[in-house]
Amino acid sequence: MLAQEIIRTKREGHSLDETQIQHFVRGLVDGSWSEGQVAALGMAIFLRGMTRDEAVALTRAMQHSGRVLSWPDMPGPVLDKHSSGGVGDKLSLMLAPLVAACGGHVPMIAGRGLGHTGGTVDKLEAIPGYCTTPSPADFDRIVRTLGCAIIGQTGDLAPADKRFYATRDVTATVESVPLITASILSKKLAAGLQGLAMDVKCGNGAFAATPAFAQELAGSIVEVAQGAGLRTHALITDMNQVLGAEIGNALEVQGALDYLTGRVPRDPRTHELTLSLAAEMLLMGGLAPDLPAARKTLQAALDSGAAAERFGRMVAALGGPTDLLEDPGRHLPAAPVIRPVPAPRAGRLTAMQTRDIGLIIVELGGGRRLPGDTLDMRVGFNGVRQLGDVVDAGEPLAYVHAASVQAADAAAARLQAAITLSDASAPWTAAPLVLGRLA
């Protein structure tokens, strides 16, 4: 079978059969397909699309291109959550221990930051000693005994996806719904899951900027996952503002700890989305008869401290400090410069350029310009005000954490420019957080 004939088939708008797709995926792994051929097929798929059956076949082939995890004799359902990326989205840090405290087992294999969006693995590496690359035996043991472990992606899970994505990233073919679908699901299927809650972000801080694109992506993920044998529910959620009050690696860890322990009042949007996604996980795992019952179980795990205790034990098991819950200030790195970002005038916050705010973190050093960049875990914002809030002139819109006075001043000016203040007396209605559900 010739690579150029497979490319020709898709270029002409025809469907690829399973044999052709498997040939392509083998070529990704063994190098028998050149970069030019990989790029050509990626562009052909970008322009011509894929049927549901093609997307299922590609997903399965990439799933089996490397090691596939299994969890025999697991005492509870194996569940996970995935987000399409956002700004201030620290939910994985709360969801894994929360679901574990309710009887689920969450082997979460997470990613690093990409562009303006933060990465779960980067956030966890702000915790001194936390190992995001444990041995397979340790990963298995921690998931079985504690119910959750959040680690980084390994090269032996869906290696075909790693090469294909790297080529797509430099050939302007990332924004393909079937290819995004196969990329996400091949890794989740390789993790041996029984249920997946998908958070598809929509808005000016999301990969899916429009409701139509978010609906198409969510629908594709649910349909292809089901076709590949993985029960999946998807929520389409708003990302037209920062999620929660913290942005930046160590600051988001602190925010997750505050949420789990209840030391400070929980941000309503963060709490609602955490419960909504976790409830879908419990429902798919048979740990609750319906969503209202699932939410009651989850709230009880928060109120009792069981979820926080599970997070603390997970951190310690993966090499982090044993007293992170009790004394986070002793362990999380702090920036040398912390100062308020004053509101330039009085008014109500009515809009945020959320993507631009995420890019401020990159400029501060908390995100990557190049893949090998070393992150400054200390930098970011906390105390970020939310849409609908009314502020006086000079009142803090947030607090910037920076490595220098100059960096703090530049970040403060960019944040002020990214926030719209309207007349405080103007009518205001909050946008819904969950825009749609597919199951």
For the chain, list the domains and their CATH numbers: 3-49 (1.20.970.10), 79-317 (3.40.1030.10), 334-422 (3.90.1170.30)
Alpha carbons 402 and 250: distance in angstroms, whole number:
12
Alpha carbons 152 and 111: distance in angstroms, whole number:
6
pLDDT at site 369 = 77
Q: Are the C-beta atoms of 278 and 95 separated by less than 8 Å?
A: yes
- Average of per-residue pLDDT across 419-438: 93
Q: Any long-range contacts for 206-212 (C-beta under 8 Å, 24+ apart)?
A: 206/84, 206/85, 206/86, 206/239, 206/354, 207/84, 207/85, 207/117, 208/84, 211/236, 211/435, 211/436
| Residue of 187, 231, 355, 401 marked catalytic | 187
| Residue of 59, 65, 120, 176 marked catalytic | 120
| Residue of 168, 201, 385, 401 marked catalytic | 168
Q: Which residues, at least 6 apart from 130, have a Cβ–Cβ distance to it below 8 Å?
A: 124, 315, 318, 319, 320
Asked if 82 is an active-site residue, the reply is: yes
Q: Using a pLDDT cut of 70, give the percent of the chain over it.
A: 100
Asked if 83 is an active-site residue, the reply is: yes
pLDDT at site 116 = 81
Matching residue, tokens 């792994």: 29
* pLDDT value at 258 more than 80: yes
Matching residue, tokens 């995004």: 180
Asked if 376 is an active-site residue, the reply is: no
| Residue of 23, 112, 188, 414 marked catalytic | 188
* pLDDT value at 245 more than 90: yes
In this predicted model, what pLDDT tens digit does every residue of 165-217 receive, in sequence order?
A: 889 978 989 889 999 999 999 999 999 999 999 999 999 999 889 999 999 99
| Residue of 83, 154, 270, 274 marked catalytic | 83
pLDDT at site 410 = 98
Alpha carbons 118 and 127: distance in angstroms, whole number:
16
Asked if 296 is an active-site residue, the reply is: no
Return the half-sphere exposure (C-beta side, CA atoms, 13 A cut-off) of residue 264: 11
Band of pLDDT at residue 249, cut at 50, 70 and 90: very high
Of residues 111 and 366, more confidently modeled: 366
Alpha carbons 56 and 419: distance in angstroms, whole number:
42
| Residue of 65, 80, 89, 167 marked catalytic | 80
- Angle at the Cα of 374 from the Cα atoms of 31 and 333, rounded to 5 degrees: 140
Asked if 80 is an active-site residue, the reply is: yes
Asked if 233 is an active-site residue, the reply is: no
Q: Which residues pair with 149 in a beta bridge?
A: 107
| Residue of 10, 60, 81, 162 marked catalytic | 81
Band of pLDDT at residue 290, cut at 50, 70 and 90: very high
* pLDDT value at 153 more than 90: no
pLDDT at site 172 = 86
Asked if 188 is an active-site residue, the reply is: yes
* pLDDT value at 383 more than 80: yes
| Residue of 82, 112, 231, 355 marked catalytic | 82
Which of 222-259 are b and which e, b meaning 16 or more Cβ less than 10 Å from the residue's Cβ?
bbbbebbebbbbbbbbbbbbbbbbbbbbbbbbbbbbbb
- Average of per-residue pLDDT across 355-368: 93
Total residues found in the chain within this entry: 439
- Average of per-residue pLDDT across 227-241: 96
Q: Are the C-beta atoms of 45 and 12 separated by less than 8 Å?
A: no
Give 56: exposed, middle or buried? Use CB within 10 Å, 0-12, 13-18, 19+.
buried
Q: Are the C-beta atoms of 402 and 366 separated by less than 8 Å?
A: no
Q: Which residues, at least 6 apart from 300, have a Cβ–Cβ distance to it below 8 Å?
A: none
Asked if 187 is an active-site residue, the reply is: yes
* pLDDT value at 115 more than 80: no
Q: Are the C-beta atoms of 429 and 350 separated by less than 8 Å?
A: no
* Beta-carbon count within 10 A of 371 CB: 9
Q: Beta strand pairing status for 231-238 and 434-438?
A: antiparallel
Asked if 183 is an active-site residue, the reply is: yes
pLDDT at site 311 = 98
Q: Are the C-beta atoms of 264 and 258 separated by less than 8 Å?
A: yes
Alpha carbons 336 and 413: distance in angstroms, whole number:
19
* pLDDT value at 295 more than 90: yes
Of residues 105 and 427, more confidently modeled: 105
In this predicted model, what pLDDT tens digit does every residue of 318-357 receive, in sequence order?
A: 999 999 999 999 999 999 999 999 999 999 999 999 999 9
The model's pTM = 0.93
pLDDT at site 175 = 84
Q: Are the C-beta atoms of 310 and 100 separated by less than 8 Å?
A: yes
| Residue of 65, 176, 183, 297 marked catalytic | 183
Band of pLDDT at residue 376, cut at 50, 70 and 90: very high
pLDDT at site 207 = 84
Alpha carbons 300 and 251: distance in angstroms, whole number:
26
